[in-house]
Homo-oligomer: A and B are copies of this chain.
Amino acid sequence: MTSTAPAAATPEDLLRGAGLRVTAARVAALRAVGENQHATADAVLGSVRAELGTVSVQAVYDVLHALTDAGLLRRIEPAGHPARYERRTGDNHHHIVCRSCGAIGDVDCTVGHAPCLTPSDDHGFVVETAEVTYWGLCPDCRDQGSGADPTAQP
């Protein structure tokens, strides 16, 4: 049990703390993402259905949206892949994505705080956040050679 936060906050507590109604779908979705970081909406749908029985596709999208807006989840969208959700919020960490199987790893930006985060020429834009995505090969795909093997998934 990781007790990084003050005590092991239950999904229910997290929801209430964020001023959201506590519903079965939200609790299940929160738990699903907690157990499977970087889960896709589809994966969450699967987990939630396995736990609750019938849940509509829309409900899961609604829930993921609500939780993301409330700051309980963070959504990441690697180019060419469906969106994924994670529970690590607040810290602006980055991600490394496997070109072959799409697996994702977290990357803490320890190189100072924001090295790249101030563009040299911002074209008059007001910069709010900077997002770094690393692309490469995960250990599994690296070992298997470079086969386009869509059967691998963590």
Contacts and interface: CB of A to CB of B under 8 A. Distances in A.
A137 B132 contact: no
User: How many copies are assembled?
Assistant: 2
A138 interface: yes
A6 interface: no
Nearest to A137: B126
Given A107-B122, A125-B98, A133 B131 contact: yes
Contact of A130 (B77, B83, B129, B134): B134
A131 B130 contact: no
A125 B134 contact: yes
Given A130-B134, A132-B130, A105 B125 contact: yes
Interface of A: 76-77, 79-80, 83, 94, 96, 98-99, 105-112, 115-139, 142
